[in-house]
Structure 1
Amino acid sequence: MKADLIELMDRIIQVLQINIRWMTWNLFLAFIPLALSIWLFRMKRGRSWVWWLGFLVFYAFLPNAPYLLTDVIHLIHDIRTIQSVWIISLVLIPVYLLVILAGFEAYVISLINLGYYLHRIGKSQWIVWVEIITHALCAVGIYWGRFLRFNSWDFVTQPDALLTKGIEEILGKQPLVIIAITFGILVGLYWLMKRVTLGFIRQRNNSIDMPSQGINSNKSSME
């Protein structure tokens, strides 16, 4: 029994060691646009050339956040490779869910911050259209990353290959179908996760406001 437990723990450590590097890297790339969205859209600053440069970098890296959805192919591969039901159910699936949800939540919050900025500058009517366009661009970016193996920095390091090969590839029937399916998944998941996130934020704000209101009412009664 003890030997079996030790063997199981060794296999769990091996599985985590295999996946931890690429998971950490992909999460790092996913959180770059999140950090930029806070800097660009939550902090009041003028739209200087630095702001516009940050905006371009934001959109270049944004597909990395929903890109984590495609990492489910690694999960499928691991399930086929690892025969232990315990490792699959107690380690693999929870870890993959955590990583994928964290990446997509970074995408959701990034777009919420962008919508907040549009609302602040009086362009609330653009929010839905900007979200739809962003989903479409990210669907293309995800295809480029997963199937053509392009990276966000290739906009600078090899822009010619990105534009020529990238555009040629997405004009085929199969790529367009994949991009359309990806777009639909992004729209549906974003719609759901946005409402969950905003609901959580409202609930948190209400729970903070209630104690402060209680303090104010106590002060008034004491006066």
Structure 2
Amino acid sequence: MKEELIELLARVIQVLQINESWMTWNLFLAFIPLVLSVWLFRSRRGNGWAWCLGFLALFACLPENQKYIRTLSYFLISAVLSISFLKLLLFSTLVILPLMIWMLRSRSGNRFAWWLGFLAFIGFLPNAPYLLTDVIHLIDDIRTINSVWMITLVVIPLYILVISAGFEAYVISLINLGYYLEQRGKGEWVLTTELIIHALSAVGIYWGRFLRFNTWDFITQPDHLLTKGVEELLGKQPLLIIAITFIVLTSLHWLGKRITLSVIEETRGRMITRSRSAKTHS
């Protein structure tokens, strides 16, 4: 009995270690649009760099992400070293430096930075609901562990926590976008915008899960992504999968938005009540 328990625990730990890598990475990708939504739609523009740097610092502190940082650093260093020093100096002087000064000092530069951030927001946003499809890993974990108690008490709650966190990032990101539209008198556009984003996210999820594309492919191989992606969308089965994904996203977002806004309103009401009672007693 003791040996079987030790073997079972070792198997559970092994499964958790295997899942830790992709769960951490996918959650990081899911929280990128959340951070961008706070910068773009909620906070002052001047705080944007602080948000980005703080989020990157948090990402760098996670041990499982060190290999991604090393891979990215190696890629950037290799790319820079492959360019001659004179070309690099000329490019930095004539392009990068003037662009940074223009973005920091001019209103047009701030607008350009905002739109650049918005494109990044749209590009990374499907990564948040994409976590819903990671439930397929649960099947392999169930076969590996083969223990009802461990599956019920450890594995399934872990999956629920990770998937819920990723989708909640999606919900809050769209709430922030809706807040931005309402603040600018475009409240009637909120529902239409949400439906468009659900449709784009459904396409992004299909491209990611079935065609194995990722957000970086928009930059590294945009021609192949668009050509292959559009070709696949012409088939009946992909359209059916995307339609089902759209319905699931719309339904879960509607439910998640109602719950999130209710929690926010309840928390805000309690804070107001406590503030009033504190003033009354003082």
Q: TM-score range by the shorter chain?
A: over 0.9
CA distance, structure 2, for counterparts of residue 21 and residue 87 of structure 1: 20
Give me the identity figure in percent: 68
Match of 1:66 among 126, 129, 147: 129
Aligned to 1:111: 174
- 1:92 and 2:155 are equivalent in the alignment: yes
User: How far has the Cα of 1:94 moved from its partner?
Assistant: 0.6
How does the TM-score come out when normalised to structure 1?
A: 0.95
User: How far has the Cα of 1:6 moved from its partner?
Assistant: 2.5
Aligned to 2:6: 6
Deviations 1:121-143 (A, max 9, x none): 11111000000000000000000
Question: Secondary structure of the equivalent of 1:48?
Answer: helix
CA distance, structure 2, for counterparts of residue 11 and residue 168 of structure 1: 42
Between 1:138-147 and 1:203-212, the stretch displaced more is: 203-212
RMSD: 1.2
CA distance, structure 2, for counterparts of residue 95 and residue 215 of structure 1: 40
Letter in 2 for 1:17: Q
Unaligned runs of 5+ in 2: 46-106
User: How far has the Cα of 1:191 moved from its partner?
Assistant: 0.3
Deviations 1:114-164 (A, max 9, x none): 001001111111000000000000000000000000001111100001110
User: How far has the Cα of 1:84 moved from its partner?
Assistant: 1.3
The aligned runs of 1:36-185 (5 Å cut-off) are: 36-45=36-45, 48-185=111-248
Matched pairs, number: 219
Runs of 4+ in 1 over 4 A off after TM superposition: none
CA distance, structure 1, for counterparts of residue 280 and residue 144 of structure 2: 62
How does the TM-score come out when normalised to structure 2?
A: 0.75
User: How far has the Cα of 1:18 moved from its partner?
Assistant: 1.1
Deviations 1:73-107 (A, max 9, x none): 11122223331112211111011111100000000
User: How far has the Cα of 1:43 moved from its partner?
Assistant: 1.4
Deviations 1:162-202 (A, max 9, x none): 11000110110000000000000000000000000000111
Structure of greater relative contact order (alpha carbons < 8 Å, 6+ residues apart): 2
Letter in 2 for 1:56: L
CA distance, structure 1, for counterparts of residue 13 and residue 143 of structure 2: 18
- 1:166–1:71 distance in 2 versus 1, CA, 3 Å: same
Letter in 2 for 1:176: L
- 1:191 and 2:251 are equivalent in the alignment: no
Unaligned runs of 5+ in 1: none
Question: Secondary structure of the equivalent of 1:152?
Answer: coil
- 2:40–2:117: 8 Å Cα contact kept in structure 1? yes
User: How far has the Cα of 1:3 moved from its partner?
Assistant: 3.2
Question: Secondary structure of the equivalent of 2:213?
Answer: coil
- 1:2–1:80 distance in 2 versus 1, CA, 3 Å: closer
